[in-house]
Amino acid sequence: MDLFSRSWTALRTAVAELPDKDFEQPSGCTGWLVRDLVCHLVIDAQDVLITLATPTGTEPTVNAVTYWNVEDQPPTGEDPLDALIVRLAAAYEEPRLLKFHLDDVGSAAGRAAELADPGARVSTRDEVLTVGDYLTAYVLEWTLHHLDLIACLPDAAEPPTEGLARSRAMLEEIADAAFPASFTDKDALLVGTGRRAPTEGERAALGESAAKLPLFLG
């Protein structure tokens, strides 16, 4: 729960501190500018609020790791929902409006997470999981999108180190393989999810595990 809050607060703070011109820079998400990614974060915050307000008494069907689906293909930006995000982001016109909306909805999502019972069960995406597992899954979401946010912004703040470490551990569970110790947590996440190609040295260090990568999470 605490790691969810720290990761989410760090991501929202990074957005709040961006100069307006950075909203027109490419993000680490294919086909999205930074403004499009921020708009997606608004939708993510809404999803957190909706899920935490959707309790269920049935047994969990997934946990923080199995919550994630591994897709066959990387996102192209052409999915109807992805395209809708781009149109919504453009409708804001001014970065300050996007910042305001993310702060407004994002703060509410953060408060709801802090107040939630980690042992309670919630339903989302036709699955059931505990609140604790749901929020832990979102540590990976926040961390990857924080890396997406700063992909072309070298002066922006990076995700919390503990969020990077936990996200790496989850990705290793999803891949059923450990990344070499020579990989930083950040590089493991970027290479492991296809956000950048491995160098020749990294590919050699990965060995047989390279065949399992990248993992396109959805």
Instruction: Quick: pLDDT tens for 60-97.
Output: 999 999 999 998 888 776 778 888 999 999 999 999 99
Cβ-in-10-Å burial (0-12, 13-18, 19+) of 127 comes to: middle
- State yes or no: cis peptide before 214, omega within 30 of 0: yes
List strand residue ranges (DSSP E) for the chain, in order: 70-71, 121-124, 127-130, 216-217
Instruction: Quick: pLDDT tens for 172-206.
Output: 999 999 999 999 999 999 999 999 999 999 999 99
Per-residue 3-state assignment (H helix, E strand, C coil) for 15-27: HHCCCHHHHHCEC
Residue linked to tokens 């059923």: 176
- State yes or no: cis peptide before 74, omega within 30 of 0: no
Instruction: Quick: pLDDT tens for 17-33.
Output: 999 999 999 999 988 99
